[in-house]
Amino acid sequence: MGILARPGSSVQAICDAAIYSELAGRPDEDVVLLIALSRVLGEGQVASWTFPRDPAIVATARTLAERQSASWSLSELALTTELVVSELVTNAIRYAGGTVQLRLIRDRALICEVTDRNPAAPHLRHPRTTDEGGRGLLLVAQLTDRWGTRHTGDGKAIWAEQPLSDGPSTPTPHPDG
């Protein structure tokens, strides 16, 4: 479909062209059309660090997240961001092999993303009061607007999103899908 390669086309124009031109002669075929608008983030909107699989780096990850929050003038989100970073990085170290990558993305929301080499998706647990663990992802889910996971070529990424204002947030498409 040539329309998909044309820069500057609106989503509506792409849909109209695909349906009325490209697919018009195929009435017997079932078609599903999914169009997503993407954009490139600026260099100053993404901070990224790669860490060895070592429990000692969790404190370093928290410190870097706090400093980045301050540099983006998001100090009001620093405490929550540090907690989210701590939980996600700790889980990546505990359950995955290899290095761990932390990315903070400042867009319409603040996204904290941790990538590791374990392809297994995490499960939100509801631990009993006597359980020793299992609260990390539950805390992340309660402290952030949204969270999710996606598979990567050699593992997964878990992300959590915080709104940048006190008002209700508009869902932000995750930059990588």
Structure confidence by residue, pLDDT tens digits, 77-91 = 999 999 999 999 999
Other C-beta atoms closer than 10 Å to the C-beta of 112 total 27
Q: How far apart are CA 14 and CA 142, in angstroms?
A: 38
**Which contiguous run of DSSP H or E holds residue 73?**
none
pTM equals: 0.74
pLDDT at 67: 96
Whether residue 170 contacts residue 155, with contact meaning beta carbons closer than 8 Å, is answered with no
Whether residue 97 contacts residue 117, with contact meaning beta carbons closer than 8 Å, is answered with yes
Tokens matching residue 28: 């017997």
Give the torsion through C-alpha atoms of 10, 6, 4, 158, to 10 deg. Answer: -70
pLDDT at 39: 73
Q: How far apart are CA 12 and CA 27, in angstroms?
A: 21
Q: How far apart are CA 32 and CA 15, in angstroms?
A: 11
* Low-confidence stretches of the chain (pLDDT beneath 50): 167-170
pLDDT at 169: 45
Tokens matching residue 90: 């700790």
pLDDT at 42: 85
Q: How far apart are CA 124 and CA 147, in angstroms?
A: 11
- pLDDT tens for 153-172 read 899 999 999 999 754 444 55
pLDDT at 52: 95
pLDDT at 1: 53
Taking 3-state DSSP, the helix, strand and coil percentages for the chain, each rounded to the nearest 5, stand at 35, 20, 45
Q: Give the phi and the psi of residue 64 in degrees, each rounded to 5.
A: -65, -40
Q: Options 3.30.565.10, 3.90.1150.10, 2.40.30.10, 3.40.50.12280; which CATH number does 43-163 get?
A: 3.30.565.10
- pLDDT tens for 28-37 read 677 777 777 6
Domain ranges of the chain: 1-37, 43-163
